[in-house]
Amino acid sequence: MTSLRSEWTIVDGTRIHARVSQRQHDRGLPVVVLVHGLSVSSRYLVRLGDRLAGDHEVLVPDLPGFGLSDKPSSALDMPALAAVLERWLDARGAGRVVLAGHSLGCQIAIRMAARSPERVGALALLAPTVDPAARSITGQAARLLRDAVREPIPLVAIQLRDYLRTGLRRSLQTLRFAVADEPERQLAQLRMPALVVSGGRDPIVSPTWAATVARLLPDGRLATIEGAAHAMPYSAPERCAALIRELVIGVASRRL
């Protein structure tokens, strides 16, 4: 039984599905928004969302083209996905938020933070892509295959279902947009508190790249979850939740 419920919001004629926390919380704390990775949906983030929802309002959208949300005729690039995410937050009446992206979701979170820094109280970048050492479709595909055998079998089943729903064409186009993106170009302008989380067994995001991301962020720090592969929000939700909760509390204390 999850503490998140499904809801749909129409943004520019597009129905966007999200899983949102059911309990009311202290409105003095910023809302936590979880942003999913490539070709998947909010489903694999439910474990993390459940652990955060006890203390915070949590929003976990399916971005357009993924999960249960409507699918545009063609895939959206990183700036377009960031713009839709912001308009969706506007439609829900969300103010200042903490963005917690995973994998490709980090690239979208970085884009939104760069375009609207006043909306983002803090950033949590869990296994941020794309590592320049493998910034190609073949390089990413090879690392994804290496990661698959390190992830829990139930997660692989969730991912396969989401991949089938997304479709090969949209997945490949989104991956092309992702590898063409260079998130490091925007990091220096992001002045909000930021946390980069690296998995100790993650073959997709190298320790060197994770450390570089944290170093380029003016107010960034790095944490490592030992033993975790790439999909740490699913395999290590307690540890991820504790790190995000610490970040949220820090943002709230700065406002006092």
Q: What is the mean pLDDT of residues 159-177?
A: 96
Per-residue model confidence (pLDDT) at position 256: 45
Q: What is the mean pLDDT of residues 67-93?
A: 96
> Which pairs with CB-CB distance under 8 Å and at least 24 residues apart come from 81-86?
81/108, 81/111, 82/108, 82/109, 82/111, 82/112, 82/115, 83/112, 83/115, 84/11, 84/12, 84/14, 84/16, 85/33, 85/35, 85/61, 85/112, 86/112, 86/115, 86/116, 86/119
Give the whole-number percent of the chain exceeding pLDDT 70: 95
Q: Mean pLDDT in the chain?
A: 94
The answer on pLDDT for 30 being more than 90 is: no
Residue pLDDT, tens place only, 99-109: 999 999 999 99
Band of the pLDDT at 15, cuts 50, 70, 90? very high
Please name the helix (run of DSSP H) or strand (run of DSSP E) that holds residue 156, with its range, or none.
Answer: helix 153-166
Per-residue model confidence (pLDDT) at position 121: 94
**Global pTM exceeds 0.85:** yes
Q: What is the mean pLDDT of residues 193-211?
A: 97
Residue pLDDT, tens place only, 119-138: 999 999 999 999 999 999 99
Per-residue model confidence (pLDDT) at position 25: 57
> Which pairs with CB-CB distance under 8 Å and at least 24 residues apart come from 210-217?
210/127, 210/128, 212/184, 213/125, 213/128, 213/183, 213/184, 213/187, 216/184, 216/187, 216/188, 217/123, 217/187, 217/188, 217/190
Q: Which of 10-19, 21-30, 222-231 has the lowest mean pLDDT?
A: 21-30
Band of the pLDDT at 83, cuts 50, 70, 90? very high
The answer on pLDDT for 208 being more than 70 is: yes
